[in-house]
Structure 1
Amino acid sequence: MRLQLTHALQRLSYHIETIYLFTRSDYKTILLPVTVFSVSASSIFQARALVRTLIWTWLHLLQANVSNQTFSGHEDIVNKPWRPLPSGRVTVHQARGFRFFLMALCLGVSYFLGPKIAVASLALTAVEVLHDDVLMSHHPLLKNLCNVGGYLTFEIGATLSMTPTQELDGTAYTALTCSALLILTTITAQDFADVEGDKLSHRRTMPIIAPNGSRWVWGLDMYSGCGFLALGTLVGLRYFCFRDPRSDRSSYVLYNAKVKC
C-alpha cells in the first residue's frame, strides 16, 4: 500500500512538473504583466478578484502554450530543449489531446465567471488556431497581428475578471489601445532569441529577414517620462548591442516590463 502511494505521488509530481514546463518561460512575460495590467485597468481592486484573475490567466496561458508547443517541438529542440515535447515527457498526440481538453476547460471556467469573459476565452482560442493551425506564425506581419490578438484577449479577459461589474471603462479602453499599438510595433522582440529554431521551421520572422534593421527601436518623446524613456532606451540598446540568445531572452523580459509600464 505504501509503495503504491509513493508511486502515485511520484506520478503526480511528474505531471505537475510537466504542466509547469509548458508555462515556465511565460510567467515573467505573460502571467505577471497581464495581471499587473488588469489591476491597473480595473476601477476597483479586490483580493478575491485578483486570485480569480490569476487562475484565469494561468489556465489560458497553459492552453495557449500547449497549443503552440504541439506545433513547435522540432524547433524547441534547439531553442528550449527542456520543454515537455522535445524532452520526451509527452508525445505530440498526448499534447494535442490535452490541448482540446484545455480549450473546453477554459471556456467552461470563463462561462462560469461571466459571458463576456467567455467571449474573451473563445477569441483567444480563435487566435491560437490562426497562429498555430493556419500557420500565420510563419509570416512576419500576420504573426505580429496574432500576437496583438493574443495579448489583447488575455488583457480583456483578465481585466473583466478583475472588475466586479465586468464592464470596461474609458481607462481600460485607452490602456488596451496603447497596449495593442506597442505590441504591434515592438513584439518582434520575442523572436530574437529563437532565430535558430525558427529557421528550422522555415518561419520568416523579422530578425531573420532583417537581422540588423529589426534591432532598431524607435525613440520616445520627452513627455513620456524619464523612467519610461530610460527603460525603453535600455531595451533598445540591449537588443542592438547584445545578440546572443541568452541576452535576447533577458531583453525580452525587460521589453514586457516596458510595455506594461
Structure 2
Amino acid sequence: MRTVSVFSRTTDPIPPAFLLKPYSTYFQSFLYHMYTVYLFSCNNFKDIVCVGYLFGALNASIANRIGMGEALAFTQILKASPSMALWSWSNLFLFNLHNQRHPHAISEDALNKPWRPLPSNRLTSQQATQVMYCMYPLVLGISLREGGLVPCLLEAVFCLWYNEWGGAADPFLKNLLNGFGFACFFAGPLEVATGRSVFSGEGKAAIWLAMIAIGITSSSHLQDFRDMEGDRAIGRKTVPLKIGDLNARLLCVLAIGLANSVACWFWPGVWMGSAIAWIAGIAIATNLFLDRSVNGDAFSWNLFPLWMLGLFLLPVLRG
C-alpha cells in the first residue's frame, strides 16, 4: 500500500517518443491521458500486476491441488491472461487514485516522485477524485464479468481502511493491511483464470493465501529500513522506528524463517523444491546484518520478490 514497492523507488519515467511527435490534437490528447494513467501505477506494476499474475498462473496450473477445479493447460492460462491482467490493473489503479490524491501524499510525491500526475499538475486532486469515483463501477463490472468479485470487494475495504480511515498511521496495522491487500491481488487473477472462488472446495487455496499474507505482514517492514532517516525526519511511524532497528531486523528474519517452515509443512515433500525460498530468505537475513547501509537495505528489499516466488513454487514443485 503506500510503502509496499508496492514500493520501490524508481528513476523519473522518460516520456515515450510518441508523446513528442506532432500527431493530431485529439490523438495526442488521448495519448497524454493514457500516459497520465500509466504514471499513477508504473511504480507498482511489477510488484502487483506481474507478481499477482505469476501467482495466478502458477496456481491455476495445479488448481486440482488447491481445490479449484481441474488444472489448467498452458494454452488455457494464456487465453485468460488479458483478463487476469485487466483485473489486476483496474484494482491497482483504483488503489493508486486513493493513495495519491490527498494533500500530504501530493507534498511527499513532490519531493520523492515529482513526475507523478498530481505533483506534476497533469490533473488536480479534484479531478483525480472524480476519476476515482468513476472507476468503482468499472472495477466492479470487470469483476462481475471476469471473476474475482470477493477479492475485489475485500481489496476495496482494505484500500479504504488504509488510505481513508487512518490504517496507514499505525505501523503494525499498515503491515497487516499490506499483507492481506497483497493476498487479494494474488487471489483475483487466480479466480479469473479458474472461474472458481479461493474459498471453494475445502478452502485450501484460501488457507494458502492467508499463510502468504501473514508471512508478508510480519516481514514487509523490510522495506522501511532504507528509509529510516527520512521517515524519522518527517515523523512517519514504521516498525523499525517503533521497536528499534535491531529488533525489527530480528523480527523480519524470524518471520521469513517461520513462514518457510510452515509452508513446507503445509506442502509436505517439497523440502528440495523449497530451495529458492530458503536461499532467498538466508540471503535477506545475511544482508540485513552484514550491510546496514541504505544501499544494503535496498538490496535486501529487492530480494523480497524472489522469496515470494520461492513460496509460490512450493505447491507446483510438490510433484
Give the TM-score range, shorter chain: 0.7 to 0.9
1:95-124 Cα shifts (integer Å, max 9, x gaps): 12212222221011111224xx22221211
Q: Which residue of 1 aligns with 2:306?
A: 257
Q: Aligned pair 1:138/2:169, yes or no?
A: yes
Q: Which residue of 2 aligns with 1:37?
A: 55
Structure number, greater radius of gyration: 2
Query: 5 Å matches for 1:23-102?
Result: 23-42=41-60, 43=63, 44-45=71-72, 46=76, 47-71=78-102, 72-102=105-135
Question: Structure 2 stretches of 5 or more lacking a match?
Answer: 1-21, 64-70, 265-270, 311-319
Query: 5 Å matches for 1:121-136?
Result: 121-136=152-167
1:121-151 Cα shifts (integer Å, max 9, x gaps): 1211111110011111010111011112211
For 2:136 and 2:231, locate their aligned partners in 1 and report how far apart those are by CA, in whole Å.
26
Q: Letter of the aligned partner of 1:177 in structure 2?
A: A
Q: Which residue of 1 aligns with 2:140?
A: 107
1:236-257 Cα shifts (integer Å, max 9, x gaps): 344441532x665554342123
1:180-203 Cα shifts (integer Å, max 9, x gaps): 121111111233455466557643
Q: Which residue of 2 aligns with 1:205?
A: 238
1:148-171 Cα shifts (integer Å, max 9, x gaps): 221122122221111134454555
Q: Aligned pair 1:164/2:195, yes or no?
A: yes
Q: Which residue of 1 aligns with 2:185?
A: 154
Q: Which residue of 2 aligns with 1:226?
A: 275
Q: Give the match's secondary structure for 1:128.
A: helix
Identity fraction in percent = 28
Q: Which residue of 1 aligns with 2:316?
A: none
Q: Letter of the aligned partner of 1:39 in structure 2?
A: A
Q: Is the 8 A contact 1:110 1:121 kept in 2?
A: yes
Q: Is the 8 A contact 1:75 1:200 kept in 2?
A: no
Q: Is the 8 A contact 1:103 1:125 kept in 2?
A: no
Provide closer, same or farther for how the CA distance between residues 98 and 195 of structure 1 changes in structure 2, counting only shifts above 3 A.
farther
Q: TM-score, normalised by structure 1?
A: 0.85
For 2:139 and 2:219, locate their aligned partners in 1 and report how far apart those are by CA, in whole Å.
29
Q: TM-score, normalised by structure 2?
A: 0.71
Root mean square deviation of aligned Cα: 2.7
Structure that is richer in helix per residue: 1
Q: Aligned pair 1:19/2:37, yes or no?
A: yes
Per mean C-alpha deviation after superposition, the further-off stretch among 148-157 and 166-175 is 166-175
Q: Which has the higher contact order (CA 8 A, sep 6+)?
A: 1
Provide closer, same or farther for how the CA distance between residues 164 and 112 of structure 1 changes in structure 2, counting only shifts above 3 A.
closer
Provide closer, same or farther for how the CA distance between residues 191 and 113 of structure 1 changes in structure 2, counting only shifts above 3 A.
same
For 1:8 and 1:101, locate their aligned partners in 2 and report how far apart those are by CA, in whole Å.
22
Per mean C-alpha deviation after superposition, the further-off stretch among 192-201 and 126-135 is 192-201
Q: Letter of the aligned partner of 1:7 in structure 2?
A: T
Q: Which residue of 1 aligns with 2:285?
A: 236
Per mean C-alpha deviation after superposition, the further-off stretch among 105-114 and 75-84 is 75-84
Q: Which residue of 1 aligns with 2:248?
A: 214
Per mean C-alpha deviation after superposition, the further-off stretch among 136-145 and 166-175 is 166-175
Question: Structure 1 stretches of 5 or more lacking a match?
Answer: none
For 2:280 and 2:109, locate their aligned partners in 1 and report how far apart those are by CA, in whole Å.
30
Q: Is the 8 A contact 1:33 1:257 kept in 2?
A: no
Match of 2:149 among 118, 139, 146: 118
Q: Is the 8 A contact 1:138 1:202 kept in 2?
A: no
Provide closer, same or farther for how the CA distance between residues 25 and 242 of structure 1 changes in structure 2, counting only shifts above 3 A.
farther
Number of equivalenced pairs: 256
For 1:247 and 1:199, locate their aligned partners in 2 and report how far apart those are by CA, in whole Å.
19
Provide closer, same or farther for how the CA distance between residues 93 and 190 of structure 1 changes in structure 2, counting only shifts above 3 A.
farther
